[in-house]
Amino acid sequence: MGYRSIITALSASALVLAGCGGSSLGQSGGGQSGGEVKIGLLVPLSGVYAPLGEDMRNGFKLYLDQHGGKLGGRTIKLVTADEGAGPQTGVPAAQKLVTQDQAAAVVGVVNSATALGLRDFFHESKRPLLVANAGADDITGARKSDYVWRTSFANGKVGAALGPAVAEDAKGGVYLIAADYAAGREMVGGFRKTFEAAGGKVAGEKYTPFGKTQDYQPYLSAIRASGAKAVYTFYAGAEAVSFVKQYKQFGLAGETPLYGTGFLTEGGVLDAQGEAAVGVKTSLHYSTELDTPRNKEFVAAYRKAFNEPPTVYAVQAHDAAAVLDKALAKAPGAEGDALVKALGGVGPIDSPRGQWSFDADHDAQQKYYLREVRSKDGTVVNAVIRELK
């Protein structure tokens, strides 16, 4: 993932990246069977999560390139819009994709706050939104919609997967610290439930201003003063780099084990953290190190295309393309309701993360893994320790 550069030069391919307005095919959001279908890609091209957006774009593009630029037999015209740092930019960008560009479906969304801000718009405009990252619990929970589907995860579930393992490992109270917005609070909330149910004790809890915190020293001092025996956290993107590096510089890494959801040590974030991340343990539904033929083939293809290893963000977007491939094959007109019905019938997805399916709430039903950052061949990787139950 590009901490080196946020926007990569996209290679010439069957993929058409267009920023143009509606086409004659656009009136029903799809057009006649056999022609071109517009798909909107909404990912951050700016802000702390911009590199995650680049990974998602790469993952989606790889699937298209591997399938001759077609999904379900239809040539795809991809229209990309910038989610930016959150709903203020992400909501109008999505509205433009649907109303002006006439995208048959929108894929992407990194930030939980953007996803929450978009729910009613997609519900009311009856156009499918395939969330390929943002984990806001309500999107597939209290505020689920026929038109909203998720190929990634729910925040609470990624946190909950790790709770019992930390309760078992920790030698005393655990300090909870995360970015102060929906994702941070839900990843802590989900963790806390299973952690406390397994006998774990909380030594302190703190939420740091999202997108604005660069200096974690005051928070690290509070962690040390609390006497906590371990720390559990959610940060992603640029915040994850700062937190893990400062955790090490402050001297906590040697004395207080650090746990988190896997976004803490994913992709370019892990590259930037380097040796400072060694020993950090996380829960996630993917690792480049998953030892399966499907994942090895994916990692090799992704490396070949982008000259770097893939990430969970790339996999989630790649899988969104796989979902659309199956759905468009069943709903060749690509109209909202027909497409939504087809989404309900896509069945299991043969993903690099392992096979997964949509559950009744349109969330990904999948395995979670315990990962540990280890040095390997002169670099650092998320070694897979075991499946989490």
Nearest Cα neighbor of 106 from 86, 84, 88, 83 is 83
Closest distance to ligand PHB from the beta carbon of 313 (Å): 7
Pick 89 or 112: Cβ nearer ligand PHB: 112
188 contacts ligand PHB (rule: CB under 6 A): no
110 contacts ligand PHB (rule: CB under 6 A): yes
> Residue 304 to residues 61, 93, 309, 310: CA-CA distances in angstroms?
13, 31, 9, 11
183 contacts ligand PHB (rule: CB under 6 A): yes
Site track 41-80 with ligand PHB (rule: CB under 6 A), x = hit: --------x-------------------------------
Applying CB under 6 A, the span of 12-20, 127-135, 342-350, 356-364 interacting with ligand PHB comes to: 127-135
Pick 135 or 332: Cβ nearer ligand PHB: 135
Q: Considering only residues 221 through 260, tell me which ones interact with ligand PHB, judged by CB under 6 A.
A: 236
Q: Is 259 exposed, middle or buried (0-12, 13-18, 19+ CB in 10 A)?
A: buried
Binds ligand PHB (CB under 6 A): choice among 51, 128, 135, 309: 135
Nearest Cα neighbor of 211 from 182, 246, 237 is 237
Binds ligand PHB (CB under 6 A): choice among 111, 194, 316, 382: 111
Task: Round to whole Å and give the CA distance between 177 and 188.
Answer: 8
Pick 191 or 263: Cβ nearer ligand PHB: 263
Closest distance to ligand PHB from the beta carbon of 131 (Å): 9
Pick 56 or 388: Cβ nearer ligand PHB: 56
Pick 148 or 339: Cβ nearer ligand PHB: 148
15 contacts ligand PHB (rule: CB under 6 A): no
Nearest Cα neighbor of 275 from 381, 361, 204 is 381
Pick 89 or 111: Cβ nearer ligand PHB: 111
Q: Where are any strands of DSSP class E within the chain?
A: 16-17, 36-43, 70-71, 74-82, 105-108, 129-131, 148-150, 174-180, 202-209, 230-234, 258-261, 281-284, 349-351, 354-358, 364-365, 368-376, 379-388
Q: Considering only residues 295 through 324, tell me which ones interact with ligand PHB, judged by CB under 6 A.
A: none
Pick 29 or 47: Cβ nearer ligand PHB: 47
Applying CB under 6 A, the span of 131-139, 191-199, 279-287, 301-309 interacting with ligand PHB comes to: 131-139
Task: Round to whole Å and give the CA distance between 343 and 330.
Answer: 9
Task: Round to whole Å and give the CA distance between 6 and 27.
Answer: 34
Q: In this structure, what are the phi and psi dihedrals at residue 150, rounded to the nearest 5 degrees?
A: -130, 125
